Chains A and B, each alone.
Chain A
Amino acid sequence: MDNSELQPILDFMRELAPFDSLHEQTIKQCCQTLTIAYYSQQQKFVHVDSNEAQLYIVRSGAFEVVTKEGELIDRVGEGQYFGFSGMLSGEQVINQVRILEDGLVYHLSAKMFDQLRANSYSFDRFFNQAFAKRLRNQGSIKNNHISTARITSIMSRELAATTYDASIFQATQLMSKKRVSSLVIMKQEKLCGILTDRDLRDRVLAKGFNGDIAVEKVMTKNPATIEPDALVFEAMLKMSELNIHHLPVMCEGKPIAMLTSTDLIRSQSSQPILLIGQIERQNNLEELIQVSQKIPDLLYNLIASDAKAIEIGRILTSVTDSLTRSLIALKQKQLGPAPMKFCWLAFGSQGRQDQMAGSDQDNALILEKETNEQEKRYFKQLSEYVCSALNECGFPFCPGNIMAQNPQWQLSLQQWQQQFSKWVSTPNPKALLNAAIFFDMRPIYGEKSLFDSLQTSVLTITKNNDIFIAAMTKNALQSTPPLGFFRSFVIERDGTEVKGIDLKHKGNALINDIVRIYSLSAGITEVNTSKRLESLIAKQKIDKEVAMSLLDAWEFIAHKRLTNQGLQFNNTQPVSNYILPDNLSSLIRHQLKDAFKVIHEAQGTIRLKFLGQF
């Protein structure tokens, strides 16, 4: 044993990512060169000598990285780092580090840090990712406005609840005692309804009931609900669409809070909401087309505000959803009610809630039963109107004609089920191409139960169907991320014109494919890629580490794609999915390669898992 080893430092560093990936000898060497300092709150800020850059490794205590203006960028606790940004970017450090809680900090010299980065790929990658995350945080924390805020951040934690057999009298007493305008009504531990002051007004007083009858009689049964991680803005949308003021927030099947319109009003209104509000108020097509011309502006504002790509996708999709619903309602006003139950479906990017600039429309109709001539005419008129209106609003027709106006995709529930079962049992290339689009489906308008039945039967046949999943996998592996030998980018060319790297088809789409395969084989109902991943992690159908890297890679590539499109838009160039690596800084290039490498590795994993090859 080397007698001068400092066991506690070594023990700590050995467990600490990314040092844990280094050789024992290297870790020992690091420990030797560290210096140790203690920072207490009295000092307020860590004095960072910009001439002598070093990595700060927090051994205990808590720190905050803030900009010169005092805006929070990152919080750092035990086992985390600060001081690396300057060393990675080579720029003068202007951020400050505030001491939140006294603690011990190890310093690692820039020389050693650079040496470790040069010698260990995973070490280098770790800090590059941390840096990227911090850059992104810098944006999202700064722009913590309504469109990207989550419900959890504005809902009140308190929940007033009573059981279904309580009397109205008891209920009203509880409401006034707790000073709330609504109650959650429970039956056998489950949410069965809500009671709002409007219910009391409309159903009790107006009908002259007395206070003895059970709340069950007057409550709003099976109310609309929302999950805690939904965007504030989605909640607003739901309320305004359904014309309600209360939304129980459900977490794992249990109500945890009541979100009211007052909660929402408290958080100020913002552009997407305004836009959707406008969409809902319009009474004719011309006005809708005019309003939808603002969508590109919304997109580029969101890009400029550096919102997360995943959230931009959700916001834009919500606008499309709302536009679709308004159009259907508008036409139905003219045509009269539908002759049978139906459900308007969205596929592809609208289905996955990741629409971006220039997405075309992919939609279809599920009908309750097969149609006669007259009914056929109704749906033909309705769908042709909606599809061409969407086209005029900036959502071009689907080149593959996967649209509700195509009679091929106006099918009864049973026909849809047969269609899907045919694709699954005969996975020829055409069916697999369809699978990529059709399996990402989401109901937009109409009878949701039709959609639910369809989805349930589809997932029953895909779940554990190894042959179908293998065919999907083989198909997904046809396209690979644009990395050549020695990790160089593969640039697409069109004749002599250099097009660049296709971030959509060689990036995000590949991740969507991989995640779809996992989800179908596990029978997961979500269609949004990030929600699918969350579900897969929860069901332990995917390595958590793999899932998180895929999620990061997705966000990084999509974010790059969006910012690139924002740039193209500002320079009045045609907006495309291509990016030229020469225009990127070396750090971004590096990270982009990392993201592609994540895809490459995930492809290897599904090849082994679902195809039995490697």
Chain B
Amino acid sequence: MLQQWWLQHKLKKLIKNCQLESVRLHYQYLLAQLNKPILKTNLLALDIEMTGLEPKKDQIVSIGIIPIIDSQIRPKFAQYKLIKIQGSVGQSATIHGILDKDLTNALTIEEALLWLFEQCQDKVLVAHHAPLDLQFLQQALLTTQQRPHALFAIDTLNIDKQRQQRKQQVLKTGSLRLNACRERYNLPIYNAHNALTDALACAELLLAQLSKIGKLEEITVGQLLNKY
């Protein structure tokens, strides 16, 4: 309750100050949905592949998104973009499989951000281990817009973490990794480290988590949303 009120307050303030049209629309959607049941909300599962794990140093190479509408995943509207970077992907290519030559025709980071917020104007973001992904986005916004932006998302990792803590289970290392979480919900394991595949994996995980929580009509967006 308190958290919801706080989010509401925060969002209103952000809307007032936001200069970027698409981001503002995103905030407005979030505000409108805060008290709505999650079932009726449009969600957008997101995953980002980077050249490393440090937002200040490393860069985004690809973004995958897939929407969840009426609590069903819609592959039809899935999208995937590669992003130009400065320098080389270096050793990170072994993880995400994207090579420098793949990026020759890619979007610039400005274009990518514009595209992304276009897409989530009427959607709530979902990610697995959202802090990392959002920090990269924020860093990119900072460099391109010269001002910081707050971002909001539902974190599937966080949901599972809370579930386990509530069950008084000891968290083992690695037990909150995407595939480990998926296994608990009887979801198939995908091996590719690809932003779109991981976005799909995250979306499926969220659906599984929600249906496990039960009483879906009562759960609101605000209860699950975090500010970063």
Contact = CB atoms under 8 A, between A and B. Distances in A.
A107 interface: yes
Contacts of A34: 75-76
B178 interface: no
B81 interface: yes
A4 interface: yes
Contact of A35 (B73, B187, B194): B73
B174 interface: no
A8 B212 contact: no
A37 interface: yes
A6 B185 contact: no
B211 A6 contact: no
A5 B195 CA distance: 11
B207 A37 contact: yes
A7 B188 contact: no
B73 A37 contact: yes
Contacts of A3: 79-82, 196
Contacts of B76: 32-34
Nearest to A103: B186
A35 B74 contact: yes
A35 B72 contact: yes
A39 interface: yes
Interface in B70-89: 71-76, 78-82
Contacts of A101: 186
Contacts of B203: 36
Nearest to A43: B211
Interface in A1-34: 3-9, 12, 31-34
Contacts of B190: 7-8
A40 interface: yes
B41 interface: no
A38 B208 contact: yes
B71 A37 contact: yes
Most B C-beta atoms less than 10 A away, residue of A8, A37, A42: A8
Interface in B148-206: 185-188, 190, 192, 194, 196-197, 200-201, 203-204
B192 A42 contact: no
B211 A104 contact: no
A299 B185 CA distance: 50
Contact of A42 (B187, B196, B204, B212): B212
A60 interface: yes
A165 B28 CA distance: 89
Contacts, number: 86
Interface string B133-149: 00000000000000000
B200 A38 contact: no
A321 to B, nearest CB: 50
A102 interface: yes
Given A60-B187, A61-B186, A102-B185, A36 B212 contact: no
A104 B187 contact: yes
A59 interface: yes
Contact of B194 (A7, A40, A60): A7
B188 A60 contact: yes
A6 B186 contact: no
A34 B77 CA distance: 11
Interface string B44-84: 00000000000000000000001000011111101111100
A35 B73 CA distance: 5
B211 A42 contact: yes
Nearest to B70: A35
A493 B127 CA distance: 70
B187 A36 contact: no
Contact of B208 (A5, A31, A40, A107): A40
Interface in A34-87: 34-40, 42-43, 59-61
Contact of B188 (A5, A8, A39): A8
Nearest to B68: A36
Contacts of A33: 75-76
Interface string A82-114: 000000000000000000011110010000000
Contacts of A42: 211-212, 214
Contact of A9 (B71, B79, B186, B200): B200
Contacts of B72: 35-37, 107
A361 B160 CA distance: 72
Given A37-B72, A42-B214, A104-B187, A6 B78 contact: yes
Contact of B75 (A9, A40, A60, A61): A9
A102 B186 contact: yes
A14 B88 CA distance: 35
A107 B72 CA distance: 9
Nearest to B216: A43
Nearest to A38: B207
Most A C-beta atoms less than 10 A away, residue of B73, B76, B78, B212: B73
Nearest to B188: A60
Nearest to B210: A38
Contact of B196 (A6, A38, A61): A6
A612 to B, nearest CB: 48
Contacts of A9: 75, 200
8 closest A-B pairs by beta carbon, nearest first, are: A36-B73, A38-B207, A3-B80, A40-B211, A35-B72, A8-B190, A38-B208, A102-B186
6 contacts: A4-B78, A6-B75, A12-B188, A33-B76, A39-B211, A102-B211
